[in-house]
Structure 1
Amino acid sequence: MRARGSRHLARRAPPSTAPDPRRKRRCCARGGPPSRPRTPQGHRPSARGVLPVSFRKAPLGVALCLAAFSCRSGPAPTEEKGDKTINSSPKNAEAPSSGVRRVRVHPDLLKNGRVELALVARAGGASGARAVGEIVPSPDGEALVAALVGGRVAELAKHEGDVVARGDVLAWIESPDVGIARADLLKLDAEVELSEKRLARARRLSEENAISQSALEETEAALAAARAQRAAVRARLSAWGAERGAGSRVALLAPIAGEIVERSATLGGFVEPGRALFRLVSRDRLRARVLFPSTFRQKPSEGETVTIRRPQTNLSCPGQVSTVSRSVDPASRTVTVFLELGSECSELRAHDPIEVALGQTEGAAPSVALASAPKDAVLDLEGAPHVFVAEDPPGSFVVTPVVVETIVGDTAFISEGVAPGTRIAVRGVLLLKGEAQKDLLGGD
């Protein structure tokens, strides 16, 4: 029994506190020093720096591992350049100083027309400040015609492009509601007629004292009720525009004289109440809406006479400023101006594009010295508008930032960056932009 118990105690004996040489090798393989071992009593070594016996007897490999770890965490290498020592770490590399940016392309691109040049023009001047706009209907010169009752399009009397007079029938709508209302009206007409006869007879009998006063009053009230019901039905038919026609048909009438510029009604199609079926524009009630750049010193004033020109036909006619907006559109930086057309502008039609020239006195100029260029010549580069200014030798361009005040039509008005008379690229600017972006990215 003793021997068996002693063997059992021997198997549970605590492990040896001597350091494992394999643990040291794994530590060295990871590149770091081994952790400080504890003493057999479970305490750390004293602060006097006396190493445990196991470390004093450690092989030379531990020292080599410590040396390798210290070499790995050392400072970045340096290189000698002249009299100064420059750190080659990319974190400390300096960016090249900014200056004039140029783009160079082969001169043959200018010869074969892939890149074209043009001179920057002067905006405004003694010839007058110009703006663009369009012909629009006056507030009372446009009308939408809709059916106020649901039904079906039974007949189309007018078509798109027809000129109509006020009150002309545009279409006929067949509506069950109209048929019911007209039937009710016929019934009420008969009731009113019968009540009128009853009242006349009751009054004769009342004069002979054949009926009481209350019976006469009841007859009068019945006639008044029948007339009120008939008036309500007539008002409903009038609101639907069903004064004309018979049965269940109702006519759509033109509210103004003018031209039918839009028709959405289809023969046999269903009509919803309130949906517009025709749009009319009066030829005699047109005006011009012009977007005038806010940067010009000479502002249009009410009552001023201007010249209106239609570019397609070179038609010119006078106009008069009727309204000038007091606010500036923040997106286009333009002022909206409305013009009344003269009698010579009878050939103009709604939505025709126009140009307007304001007469200027001698020496008048924009409040900012604006230059004008095609809007396609101005491209966004790095979040700002730029143009490509040509210089010698041919094929060399300076990437120039500009300040665009506004864009009206196909023209960009520039206040800073280039002056009138400067040669800039107006065609092939996308090719030049690609070259400029390639230089920014450091491409070849």
Structure 2
Amino acid sequence: MIHSSVATAFPLPVAQPLEARLAYDEDVTSRLSLPVSGRVTELRARPGDRVRRGQALLVIDSPDVGSAMADLARAEADLALKQKTVARLQDLSGGDAVARRELEQAQADLAQARAEQARAALRLRNLHLGESSREGQRLTLSSPLDGVVVERNANPAMEVSPSLTSPLFVVADLRHLWVLADLPEKLGPQVRVGDRLVIESDALPQEQREARVVQVGPTVDPATRRVVLRAKLDNPDGRLMPEMFVRAWLPARRGEPAVRVPNTAIVTRGVHAFVFVETQAGEFQRRRVDLAARGGDDSFVSQGLTAGERVVTQGALLLDAELSAPADGQP
């Protein structure tokens, strides 16, 4: 059985494809917890929901929040009282030594009241309470970015606390992903930040995406003799997903063009390589090609074949045997 397919243009790689996986881009991923204890009263987002920055995810009832807000109210009231006391004594002090001592004590009390008010306000800021969240003991947890709720570990009426080991929500912008690949140590010095990777996935056959290297690990894993390579990948259509396995090709930095064909298309005769090009339906031409590189599954042709031509990918050896066989009646 003869099968053919279209040869495709592909940048000449420097090595075999790297086995890699996709992961959340941690620069646009937020794992959300709460710094106070309380009970979940409302859940406003589910796994898979798209959320906007500032959108509420859940609401809790928290005595800690009520206590912090009450502390701030007391501190502000005490500060206002101390300010009035100092102002009154400043008017009355004149040259009276007793009045001056009372004024100095009042000014010290005012400084302490300011410090207490600042402490109470700082505590509220550390609880991440926006103005809209200060409703009694209610605290609203909001998304800090536009993205998708990829994980939710909160349930109705659940008791939450700062000691929980899992985040209540994980929100990620899946339009951006990381590619994590294990780079052989011999290739480590050849890869630099900014180099590009060509990404392929079995989930999206015949489609390539481009990623950019952002980090090459500083150490070699002593067990695998590999270096961790990290690259950023744009995923505007969301068709690629975290934890997918992909192949990552490292194109040569000089950017030589090549044509990629499967190894089953290559026929070797002596030191030369050939492919069979389908010139029209059912008609094939044996053509010598120059191979720039050969991998485990694919070969890269530098001369003799043009992207877009159809080559035989199954049955090439059979065609070669037929063309090489002597004609009828010949020895």
Alignment of 1:421-440 (within 5 A): none
Q: Secondary structure at the match of 2:17?
A: strand
1:173 aligns to what SS in structure 2? Answer: strand
Alignment partner, residue 280 of structure 1: 171
1:267: Cα distance to partner? Answer: 1.5
Cα RMSD for the two superposed structures: 3.2
In the alignment, which of 33, 43, 57 is matched to residue 170 of structure 1?
A: 57
Q: Tell me if the contact between 1:297 and 1:365 (Cα under 8 Å) persists in the aligned partners.
A: no
AA of the residue aligned to 1:329:
D
Counterpart residue type for residue 183 of structure 1: A
Higher strand proportion: 2
Mean Cα deviation higher: 271-280 or 163-172? 163-172
Report if the CA contact (8 A) 1:318-1:344 is conserved. Answer: no
Query: Aligned in 2, Cα 1:291/1:364: closer, same or farther, shift over 3 Å?
Result: farther
Distance (whole Å) between structure 2 residues aligned to residue 323 and residue 364 of structure 1: 28
Of structures 1 and 2, the one with the larger relative CO (CA 8 A, separation 6+) is: 2
SS in structure 1 at match of 2:231? strand
Match of 1:252 in 2: 141
The alpha carbon displacement at 1:326 in A equals: 4.7
Per-residue deviation, 1:176 = 1.3
**Which residue of 2 is the match for residue 306 of structure 1?**
197
State how far apart, in whole Å, the 2-side matches of 1:212 and 1:273 are. 50
Deviation at 1:299, TM superposition (A): 5.2
Matches within 5 A, 1:14-413: 129-207=16-94, 212-243=99-130, 244-275=133-164, 276-293=167-184, 300-314=191-205, 315-342=207-234, 347-359=239-251
Q: Which amino acid aligns with 2:152?
A: R
Task: Output the CA distance in 2 between the equivalents of 1:151 and 1:290.
Answer: 41
d(CA) in 1 for partners of 2:100, 2:189: 84
Indicate how the Cα distance of structure 1 residues 235 and 129 shifts in structure 2: closer, same or farther if over 3 A, else same: same
The one-letter code sitting in structure 2 at the alignment partner of 1:175 is S
Query: Per the alignment, in what secondary structure is the counterpart of residue 148 of structure 1?
Result: coil
Q: Is the 1:318–1:345 Cα contact (8 Å) retained in structure 2?
A: no
CA distance in 2, matches of 1:313, 1:285: 17
* Equivalent position of 1:99 in the other structure: none
User: Following TM superposition, by how much is the alpha carbon of 1:189 offset from its aligned partner in structure 2, in angstroms?
Assistant: 1.9
Checking the alignment, whether the CA contact within 8 Å between 2:176 and 2:234 is kept in structure 1 is no
Q: Which has the larger radius of gyration?
A: 1
Residue 114 of structure 1 corresponds to none
Match of 2:310 in 1: none
**3-state SS of paired residue (2:27):** coil
List runs of 5+ in structure 2 lacking aligned partners: 1-11, 257-289, 298-316, 318-331
- After superposition, what is the alpha-carbon deviation per residue over 1:25-60, rounded to whole angstroms, capped at 9, x for unaligned? xxxxxxxxxxxxxxxxxxxxxxxxxxxxxxxxxxxx
Q: Deviations over 1:169-207 (max 9, x none)?
A: 321221112212222222222222222222221111124
What is the CA–CA distance in structure 1 between the aligned matches of 2:50 and 2:114, rounded to whole Å?
A: 41
Partners of 1:146 and 1:274 within 8 A in 2:
no
Specify whether residues 140 and 199 from structure 1 end up closer, same or farther in structure 2 by C-alpha distance, changes over 3 A only. Answer: same
1:217-271 Cα shifts (integer Å, max 9, x gaps): 1122222222221221221122122343221122223233322111101111111
C-alpha contact 1:242 1:249 (8 A) present in aligned 2: no
Decide whether the 8 Å contact of 1:241 with 1:251 is kept in 2.
no
Say whether the 8 Å CA contact 1:151–1:176 is kept in structure 2.
yes
| Matches of 1:129 and 1:212, distance apart in 2 | 88
User: Is the alpha carbon distance of 1:212 and 1:280 closer, same or farther for their aligned partners in structure 2, counting shifts above 3 Å?
Assistant: same
Amino acid in the other structure paired with 1:323: Q
SS at match of 1:182: helix
Which residue in the other structure is 1:64 paired with?
none
CA drift of 1:312 comes to: 1.0
- For 1:260 and 1:347, the matched residues in 2 are separated by 16
Provide the rounded CA distance (Å) in 2 between the counterparts of 1:329 and 1:161. Answer: 36
User: Identity percentage over the alignment?
Assistant: 29
Distance 2:188 2:218 in 1: 15
Cα deviation, 1:122-175, whole Å, max 9, x if unaligned, reads xxxx77621221222334222211111111112222222222233333212211
Q: What is the rounded CA distance, in whole Å, between the counterparts of 2:176 and 2:44 in structure 1?
A: 24
For the residue of structure 2 that corresponds to 1:171, the secondary structure is strand
Question: Is the Cα contact below 8 Å between 1:298 and 1:364 reproduced in 2?
Answer: no
The letter for the 1-side match of 2:198 is T
Relative to structure 1, is the Cα distance of residues 343 and 154 closer, same or farther in structure 2, using a 3 angstrom cutoff?
closer
1: CA distance, partners of 2:37 / 2:235? 42
2: distance between equivalents of 1:298 and 1:224? 60
How many residues are paired up? 245
- The answer for unaligned runs of 5 or more in structure 1 is 1-125, 373-420, 422-444
